[in-house]
């Protein structure tokens, strides 16, 4: 029997609801793998489950993204064996020393990538991948506005876009964060002034695409920064969910497009997942993007990690170590 423990949210609420508990991992069922975990990726989505913004039955075994070594293989699994280093970004239960995952959601980690870098990169990097590759056919000369550019997704998305020849206007919450971002324009400051600055920097035209993971606080500034027929990609709620939208605002803004995508629709099949992971590991191996682990916390201090993330005190990726 394995001695295992995990961090769970017993109720919805602030970081204080996160508690440590012992558990006995099941033996892997058909199609499943049991992994001993080495590193866990902290993601903003983890806070949405904790607060109840995203629904899940209580108590919630928190966390989606983790990396470890396979220690037991269920019946019918092909392509994975004991000792393989794998990761996953799907489901719940990542904040744990051990985890059962469906083999269909497992990603083989290349030998050249450490467990910590993989945990820092899989979810944020595959998100950056579909945002850069699968929204519109971005070409050199297109202009993108990226919010939270020094954050987890932002620190991968900005170089990915620039590698495609896209001009990036990056926005961050502080001068220090803005100074750490390598973009064509790296801005900081309140959302109220942002659209007029973006317009000035684009000959009053606006940008082709906005990547907005902030949500409520940045919605208006993002729409106002778009050029005629531009695309608003609203992919997160760091400041709270966007309230219901008046479609006429899109008309008034210049026949704007809006999408509200989620990674899990872009990696829904094993083939989609493998392709997305391959594109990410390719960019990592070519040095286009790299893991930027701004901070790490012991897994038992997951509540402190949530506090730092929600208070905008983190840069790059954050990992938890069991
Ligand atoms: N839809 C998808 O497929 C998908 C996948 C992954 C992540 N996401 C979303 O992408 C966003 C970024 O995720 P991440 O894990 O990489 O987080 P992160 O960017 O490392 O952290 C969030 C950042 O948002 C900014 N922010 C602005 N207002 C905020 C507020 N009121 N409270 C907290 N943060 C605020 C902060 O950056 P500044 O201080 O620089 O403003 C903060 O560092 C999140 O909204 C997440 O849900 C979506």
The CA 69 to ligand 1 mean position distance, Å, reads 29
- Select from 260, 278, 301 the last residue of a domain: 260
pLDDT band at 3 (very low <50, low <70, confident <90, very high): confident
Is residue 290 assigned to a domain? Answer: yes
Mean pLDDT, range 135-164, rounded to an integer: 97
Do 148 and 256 sit in the same domain of this protein? yes
Q: 153 in ligand 1 pocket by Cβ < 6 Å?
A: yes
219 lines ligand 1 (CB under 6 A): no
pLDDT at residue number 1: 62
**221 CB within 6 A, ligand 1:** no
> Is there an atom of ligand 1 within 6 Å of 130 CB?
no
Instruction: Look up the CATH number of the domain holding residue 288.
Output: 3.90.180.10
Are 97 and 184 within one domain? Answer: no
Alpha carbon of 198 to ligand 1 centroid (Å): 20
Residue 96 in domain: yes
130 is written with which tokens? 């579909």
Look at residue 4 in the predicted model and tell me its pLDDT: 96
- Specify the pTM: 0.98
Average pLDDT over every residue of 221-238: 98
Give residues with Cβ within 8 angstroms of 93, minimum separation 6: 6, 61, 62, 63, 99, 100
The answer to whether position 130 is within a domain reads: no
Q: Is 13 part of a structural domain of the chain?
A: yes
Q: Give the angle subtended at the CA of 280 by the CAs of 320 and 223, to the nearest 5°.
A: 90
Q: Are residues 220 and 277 in the same domain?
A: no
| pLDDT tier, 89 (very low <50, low <70, confident <90, very high otherwise) | very high
Q: Please tell me the distance from the alpha carbon of residue 25 to that of residue 147, in angstroms, as a whole number.
A: 39
User: Does residue 126 lie within any of the structural domains?
Assistant: no
Q: Tell me, yes or no, whether 31 and 72 share the same domain.
A: yes
- Model confidence pLDDT, tens digit, residues 181-190: 999 999 999 9
Residues 309, 194, single domain; the answer is no
**Domain stop point among 238, 260, 282:** 260
Do 178 and 186 meet the contact criterion of CB atoms below 8 Å apart?
Answer: yes
Which of 210, 235, 260 is a domain's end point?
260
If asked whether residues 284 and 183 sit together in one domain, one would say no
107, 88 Cβ separation under 8 angstroms: yes
Distance 148 CA to ligand 1 centre (A): 6
Supply the residue whose CA is at minimum distance from atom 27 of ligand 1.
214
What is the tens place of the pLDDT at every residue in 270-311? 999 999 999 999 999 999 999 999 999 999 999 999 999 999
Instruction: For residues 256 and 140, state if they share a domain.
Output: yes
153 with 106, same domain: the answer is no
Please say if the pLDDT value at position 99 is more than 70.
yes
Q: What is the pLDDT of residues 174-216, one digit of tens each?
A: 999 999 999 999 999 999 999 999 999 999 999 999 999 999 9
Query: Are residue 40 and residue 115 in the same domain, yes or no?
Result: yes
Regarding the beta carbon of 285 and ligand 1, being less than 6 Å apart is answered no
Asked whether 239 and 216 are in contact (CB, 8 A), the reply is yes
**Domain count of the fold of the chain:** 2
Q: List the one residue out of 248, 247, 249, 223 whose CA is nearest residue 234.
A: 223
Inter-CA distances, 8 with 24, 59, 94, 160, 251, Å: 14, 6, 10, 34, 44
Does 255 lie in the same domain as 141? yes
Q: What's the average model confidence in pLDDT over 88-111?
A: 97
Residue 153 in domain: yes
Same domain, 13 and 115: yes
The number of the ligand 1 atom at minimal distance from the alpha carbon of 309 is 21
Where does the pLDDT of residue 233 fall: very low under 50, low under 70, confident under 90, or very high at 90 and above?
Answer: very high
What is the chain's mean pLDDT, rounded? 97
Does ligand 1 lie within 6 Å of residue 183's CB atom? no
Residues 254 and 275 grouped into a single domain: no
Give the count of alpha carbons within 13 A of 147, CB side only: 30
Please give the Cα distance from 33 to 153 (Å, whole number).
28
263 lines ligand 1 (CB under 6 A): yes
* Pocket-testing residue among 133, 213, 273, ligand 1, by greatest number of atoms within 8 A of Cβ: 213
Ligand 1 within 6 A of CB of 43: yes
Q: Is residue 131 part of a domain?
A: no
- CATH for 216: 3.40.50.720
The answer on pLDDT for 69 being more than 90 is: yes
Residue 143: give the domain boundaries.
136-260
Q: Is residue 128 part of a domain?
A: no
- Nearest CA to 223 out of 195, 243, 203 is that of 195
């Amino acid at each position: 029997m394995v001695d295992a423990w995990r961090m769970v949210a017993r109720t919805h609420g602030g970081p204080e609801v996160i508690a440590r508990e012992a558990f006995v991992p099941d033996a892997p069922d058909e199609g499943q793998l049991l992994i001993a975990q080495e590193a866990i990726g902290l993601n903003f989505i983890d806070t949405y489950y904790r607060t109840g913004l995203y629904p899940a039955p209580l108590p919630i075994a928190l966390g989606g993204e983790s990396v470890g070594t396979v220690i037991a293989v269920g019946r019918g699994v092909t392509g994975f064996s004991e000792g393989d280093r794998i990761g996953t970004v799907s489901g719940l239960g990542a904040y744990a020393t051990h985890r059962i995952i469906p083999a269909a959601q497992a990603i083989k980690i290349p030998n050249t990538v450490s467990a910590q870098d993989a945990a820092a990169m899989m979810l944020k990097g595959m998100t950056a991948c579909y945002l850069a590759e699968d929204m519109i056919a971005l070409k050199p000369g297109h202009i993108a506005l990226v919010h939270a550019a020094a954050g987890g997704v932002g620190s991968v998305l900005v170089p990915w876009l620039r590698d495609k020849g896209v001009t990036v206007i990056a926005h961050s919450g502080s001068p220090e964060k803005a100074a750490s971002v390598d973009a064509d324009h790296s801005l900081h400051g309140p959302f109220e002034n942002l659209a007029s600055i973006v317009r000035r920097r684009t000959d009053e035209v606006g940008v082709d695409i906005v990547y907005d993971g902030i949500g409520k606080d940045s919605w208006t500034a993002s729409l106002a920064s778009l050029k005629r027929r531009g695309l608003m990609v609203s992919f997160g709620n760091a400041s709270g969910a966007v309230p219901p939208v008046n479609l006429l605002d899109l008309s008034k803004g210049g026949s704007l497009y809006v999408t509200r995508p989620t990674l899990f629709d872009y990696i829904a099949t094993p083939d989609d997942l493998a392709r997305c992971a391959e594109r990410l590991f390719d960019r990592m191996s070519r040095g286009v993007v790299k893991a930027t682990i701004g901070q790490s916390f012991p897994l038992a201090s997951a509540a402190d990690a949530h506090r730092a993330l929600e208070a905008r005190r983190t840069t790059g990726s954050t990992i938890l170590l069991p």
